[in-house]
């Protein structure tokens, strides 16, 4: 483990000043004679020169790292988002640090602090915190922020939203169009804007048709873990079936939960979709792998990640882009878990 070679080492070896070496090795447009340039280049190769980005950044205050803060990459939705972000980042020679906030505002704060300390200048975040002071300090520090999934009401923060309300409406409407009138909605704790919007879309659609809503909400604090969502789905389904007049269709606030719904029904020998129809929300790939294939609302995760990263890089390149927002539209993925009443 010997010390890495620096531009000074090369300068000495090439009998030039370190300034000249720097000019060559940092792809500066500064003119350097062909002879020296070539000598320096070959020497750098030979001596295994690796630029030290710390030094470079300390000087230039440009960072090639972006931070991504999401609740949990155990949730396939967020791992797709992260994957999309990383793909675009990679293509632009940026690197991504992955942070799981686990729905804990304190952890989120901690990550933001770290990001500030590491002089990172771009962040994509699905925020759980309602405290905006951290965002203000990021912006003051020149950090560009893109909010995905969960809206942040704050100037200078661009949003990539998803129309959850419309998604909730669309799913409910679809079940109605298949002749269902007793439509249950199962949801984990309605503690975030996105959850509220889906619920509100459902309520609205029910009201519009003069139907009585059947909502079961888990009060459990969130653990973003596929299995816990699954179990919640089972439990809430059991509750729904315990009602005097059970539903003929069940709408779940996410796909994992829908899997739980289907499982609970199967265990009770209730056939899906012949006896009860099920619709999910997310559109993760796994939905195509279960039996029956899950009809669901597609939320473009991977695309959302790519979009967010593009937007972020644009802003960081100082293109002085107007802070536009994007609202992605829901799409119905009709597969096999819904049948006419």
Partner DNA sequence: TTGTACGCGTTATCAA
Partner DNA sequence: TTGATAACGCGTACAA
- Among a copy of itself, DNA, none, the one that 26 touches (CB under a kind-dependent 5 to 8 A) is DNA
For the segment 35-64, give every residue that binds DNA (CB under 7 A).
Answer: 35-36, 51-52, 54-56, 58-60
Distance CA 137, CA 238 (A): 46
Return the range that interacts with DNA (CB under 7 A); candidates 25-33, 102-110, 183-191, 196-204.
Answer: 25-33
Pick the closer one to a copy of itself by CB: 209 or 267. 267
Distance CA 205, CA 251 (A): 13
Q: Tell me if 121 contacts DNA by CB under 7 A.
A: no
Q: Tell me if 106 contacts a copy of itself by CB under 8 A.
A: no
Q: How many CB atoms lie within 10 A of CB 328?
A: 17
Distance CA 258, CA 175 (A): 15
- Crossing angle for the helix pair 193-208 and 164-177, to the nearest 10 degrees: 30
- Among a copy of itself, DNA, none, the one that 17 touches (CB under a kind-dependent 5 to 8 A) is DNA
Draw the binding track, 42-81, toward a copy of itself (x: CB under 8 A; -: no contact): ------x-xxxxxx-xx------x------xxx-x--xx-
In 221-325 the beta strands, taken as DSSP E runs, fall at 249-252, 277-282, 295-298
The CA-based dihedral angle spanning residues 315, 87, 125, 281, taken in that order and rounded to the nearest 10 degrees: 130
Pick the closer one to a copy of itself by CB: 206 or 256. 256
- Crossing angle for the helix pair 105-117 and 133-140, to the nearest 10 degrees: 10
Q: Tell me if 140 contacts DNA by CB under 7 A.
A: no
Distance CA 329, CA 162 (A): 6
Q: Tell me if 5 contacts a copy of itself by CB under 8 A.
A: no
Catalog residues that contact a copy of itself under the rule CB under 8 A.
1-2, 4, 48, 50-55, 57-58, 65, 72-74, 76, 79-80, 82-83, 86-87, 90, 93, 95-100, 107, 113-114, 116-119, 137, 139-142, 226-227, 230, 256, 259-260, 262-263, 266, 285-286, 288-291
């Amino acid at each position: 483990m010997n010390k890495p070679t620096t531009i000074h080492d090369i300068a000495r070896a090439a009998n030039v000043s370190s300034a000249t070496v720097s000019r060559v090795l940092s792809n500066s447009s500064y003119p350097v004679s062909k002879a020296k340039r070539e000598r320096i280049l070959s020497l750098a190769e030979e001596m295994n020169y690796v630029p030290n980005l710390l030094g470079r950044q300390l000087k230039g205050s440009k960072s090639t790292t972006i931070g991504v803060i999401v609740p949990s990459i155990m949730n396939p939705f967020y791992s797709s988002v992260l994957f999309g972000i990383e793909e675009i980042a990679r293509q632009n020679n940026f690197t991504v640090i992955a942070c799981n906030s686990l729905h804990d505002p304190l952890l989120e704060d901690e990550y933001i602090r770290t990001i500030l300390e590491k002089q990172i200048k771009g962040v994509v975040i699905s925020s759980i915190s309602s405290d905006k002071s951290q965002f203000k300090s990021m912006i003051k520090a020149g950090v560009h922020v893109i909010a995905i999934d969960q809206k942040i009401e704050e100037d200078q923060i661009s949003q990539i939203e998803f129309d959850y309300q419309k998604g909730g409406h669309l799913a409910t409407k679809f079940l109605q169009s298949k002749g269902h009138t007793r439509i249950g909605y199962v949801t984990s704790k309605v503690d975030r804007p996105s959850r509220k919007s889906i619920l509100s879309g459902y309520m609205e659609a029910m009201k519009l048709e003069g139907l009585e809503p059947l909502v079961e909400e888990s009060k459990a604090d969130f653990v973003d873990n596929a299995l816990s969502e699954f179990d919640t789905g089972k439990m809430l389904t059991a509750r729904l079936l315990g009602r005097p007049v059970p539903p003929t269709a069940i709408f779940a606030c996410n796909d994992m939960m829908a899997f739980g719904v289907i499982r609970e029904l199967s265990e009770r020998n209730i056939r899906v979709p012949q006896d009860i129809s099920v619709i999910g929300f997310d559109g993760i790939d796994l939905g195509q792998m279960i039996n029956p294939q899950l009809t669901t609302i597609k939320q473009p995760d991977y695309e959302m990640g790519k979009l967010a990263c593009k937007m972020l890089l644009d802003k960081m390149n100082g293109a002085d882009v107007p802070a536009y927002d994007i609202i992605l539209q829901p799409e119905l993925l009709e597969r096999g878990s819904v049948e006419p009443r």
